[in-house]
Chain A
Amino acid sequence: MGPVIELRRLPCAGLLVILFACLGSYSLHAAEDPPKPEAPGAEIVDFARDVEPLFRSRCYTCHGPSKQTNDLRLDEKEAALQGGYSGRVIVPGSSAESKLIQRVASTNDAFRMPPVEPRLTAEEIATLKSWIDQGAKWSANPPVVTQQVAPSKQKRHWSFQPVRRPTAPRVRRQAWLRNPIDAFVLAKLESKGISPAPQADRAILIRRLNLDLLGLPPTPTEVDAFVSDTRPDAYERLVDRLLGSPHYGERWGRHWLDLARYADSDGYNHDAPREIWMYRDWVIGALNRDLPFDQFVIEQIAGDLLPAATKQQIVATGFHRNTLLNLEGGIDFDQYRVEAVVDRVETTGAVFLGLTLGCARCHDHKYDPVSQREFYQFYAFFNSVDELGAEYQLGADGKVGRARAQEPILEFGTAEQLARREASRAQIAVLEEELEEYEKPLRARLAACCETLTDEERSKLKPAILEILKIPPEKRSHFQNVAAEKAVKEMDLGYTERQAGIKALRDIEPKVPTTLVMRELPEPRQAYVHLGGNFLRKGIDVEPGVPAILPPLPESENANRLDLARWLVDAKNPLTPRVTVNRIWQRYFGAGLVETQNDFGTQASPRSHPDLLDWLAAEFIAQGWSLKAMHSLIVNSATYRQSSAYRPELAEMDPTNRLLGRQARLRLEAEIVRDTALAASGLFTPKVGGPSVFPPQPEGVGRLTQVDRHWAAERGADRFRRGMYTYFWRASPHPGLMLFDASDSTKTCTRRNRSNTPLQALTLLNDKAFQEFAQGLATRVLREAPDNNSERVSHAFRVCLGRQPRPTERARLEQFLAVQLDDFLTHPEKARQVVGQDAPEEADIPQLAAWLAVSRVLLNLDEFVTRE
């Protein structure tokens, strides 16, 4: 195989350079050009005179003072003898074993060093060989390399500097300020001569707060109470009330689950179901009780390693078990285990540090000060999880047991459930032993080949099996043996009866809830640099560690995941608090103060309000990492309370509203579109947590994947649960979620798109679930509002949008209603078609149908799916 091909196999950027520069990483080629034995009586080579000039002119560009590609540096004796990621390149006394010689002397263009013409001449190569064979001695006084290493611009990058706490700037319009956030924002606006937008109407404010904090709209009663609340702190009281709601944990929990790439199936081929909803519930609970963010992180990264860890702290570690699992036949388990570990590194980098660590998987990071070695040091923290990997062997049936494949898991069952299960398992064990005894003569028959079969038996077996049985057992393939054994055993009535008995017992065995968690191997797996990002190409061993650009671990010896977790949320870590407050900000304003919310490295977009970012980060720590304190701070600001109405006069100066001269209008997230309609319909089941559920979905969704998963729509209260509880199959997710930009849950998602498409229109217009919501809303309006169209229109409007209709809107809706009602009164059969057979007996069918049509209009309004 030519190296050009190999090159293309490697997965990531910049490989061309790397492979060329990857001195000695390619043992396959070692034999290609064996170095000739040293000629006797060769001249003594002098480093300073003969070797250093060669290194200087041909190697230092990539392996010198300013750059060390693949961590190889040739201008310093110690570093040069130590080698690079692939290990030693100079073996003093043996040019034959020295990769340096193999590379410079190679005839393979892609492998040879230096990568650019001209090649080293035969004499130059001979000189290097002799120098190595003579012991690779450096001169006593090596010439000083004059080139100075410039202090790296990367290292001075703002995000790596400690968090400061700037004082709030002075502004002219003091009266506008509600808290320090406003001073930072207003100062910037004033510097451009812009005044902030007026405060939004109260009805809009309460809907905004409700949607932002709970993901559910306010009821008309709640709106009235707030609008008429004249107390000066009415707004603050509202905020406090909402932050105390159990739905707060759901709303902000769903944001967190995007980061955690949470789903209910394992991805890849079979996309088998997995049970990890307890992790989802842990997130909701932790947010509701305002578990300080530092603790929130520690428990998710390393709850299992905490001294005297509680069961719930271990559940929290499901965070990094949301990785995909490949159980396709014919795979190398370790390959996909490695992918999962890499994903943990990338996710940790993006979620907490805002760093694209994954870029350093195959080579040193192109933009940020993260080397490939540092990537694998970080990788080492997550490499010793006791999960499916190379050490797992296939079972006799050629499959890994599903239960085992999911490990490690934590079980939750009542004592009674567990006792019953133990009893059942003991019984099964006895029966299995019996079965094994019973099987022995059957197995013997298999070994004896075809001759011993009676004609009657032959008639029971398929021709293909009879063919297999003609082959001597030792010559049959694994698959043939499995097939033959199964067929011969199943021919026997006693066997099948016994087997069915065991199966029946298994089927009634009590099922206890489980959840995927982290657990360390008794002996850690040694991590190593994967040369070129390929796990089969082992480089030097590495130990757990963090990038040198960031503050060091307190104890660098034998650091484990718990040390990493604590380091992530150490008050000295400049990234975690900044990245976290920025992401919170993004949820409220549509974009972060740093727009590249997942990249705070040197490629980050410029900060819109650098001082505000730092002030928020410092305040977050000062508030004991309380997330609720940060929410309260932001939503109480005058900045947040501004109207979101478009300001044409700012369009040119600030087209993307980076200066925050108004609030943003934000289309609701996929789950919240559902939740809002559900709440308006009056059908909403407010239950928090529990196993995922199956609301209606259009038929045929699962047909487009390998295993068409049965989707039986819930019939009871679970039919009307929030969108975040919808069972998420990664290979065939609920289309209503995907069309509204939900994350596909294969990778950490730090920010969703907000698209606006015809397929969204079709969903809201025609989807069965939304039909039910429209019918619910119609029923509710007819039940709750006084018996006249004007009052009913007002009520429907208030239920959906939190405000009264404007006169033109009222007129248009009433006109639409009149047309519909007229038609349904004339054609009651059409009305019956619209409301379906399940409509209550006492209902006025034409009225209900007409109001269903009106409700459908309201549920489709842009304003309905938008946070103003």
Chain B
Amino acid sequence: MNNIIETRDLTKRFGKNTAVQSLNLTVPAGSIFAFLGPNGAGKTTTIKTLMNIMQPTQGSATIFGTDSRRLGPKEFAQIGYVSENQEMPEWMTINQFLNYCKKMYSTWDDKFCHELIEQFSLPLKQKLKSVSRGMKMKAALVSSLAYRPQLLIFDEPFSGLDPLVRDEFISGVLNITEDKNWTILISSHDIDEVERLADWVGIIDKGLLKIVEQAEVLQNRFRRIELTLKDPIDIKHNFPENWYLPELQDRTVHFIDSQYEDRKSEDKIRTIFPNCSNVEVMGMSLREIFVTFAKKFRISEL
């Protein structure tokens, strides 16, 4: 099976509001897929629909080839799910909680679980209700990793965590998944953190999926360009469609090239701006690419 998750025209409406519209998404096996988007973009709704927490209004989704509406114990035994929104049995101690989860999975690995407990320094005797949010998320992560699921789904796992805990969390996930070739779908609006993990990126905004691409390819084709011109020109008139967010300051032009190719792009720039004296090409982080998209979506709406 090449794709662990597939959606086909997945739509979810709440009354008149459309949270997710005709979403077509594939998450390849073994990938770490960053599902990005601003708050309210439809990430959590998509994940909840995938997990059969909600029913799609239209379209369909499959996980391991099973329709999301038919996901049952057999499929959930292979899925690890950690979400900022998930309620936990707070009256239990962490030890009770892990023991409770252990009973659900035939593949539970005690040794691995103890390694994770040590790695995350979990206070086993404390009740979930009395530990910090970060510790709770770590406990949830351990309970979702210890049975070695084939698919991990993280829904905004870093929300509300302090940077140190966030770093521990990410390092933990990276360490564990490095060798295992697990598939991970991670949704976040905090791109900086996801950048270290993701090899695929999907960007959603207002329920519409804007981009699905390998992170490396995306980062390779996006460049921040800075030109210095000899004479001022009307930049709007001359810009191609794949050049985003053009800005002119004195004789300096900034824009983002979304289809950057070493020679071709520079040739194109020189064709459009024959009087440019200097071209500076800068690589972009995922965060910058995401912000570019966010600004572009906003402008196109206006």
Do chains A and B interact in one complex? no
Give residues in B with beta carbon < 8 Å to A: none
Contacts from A to B (Cβ < 8 Å) = none
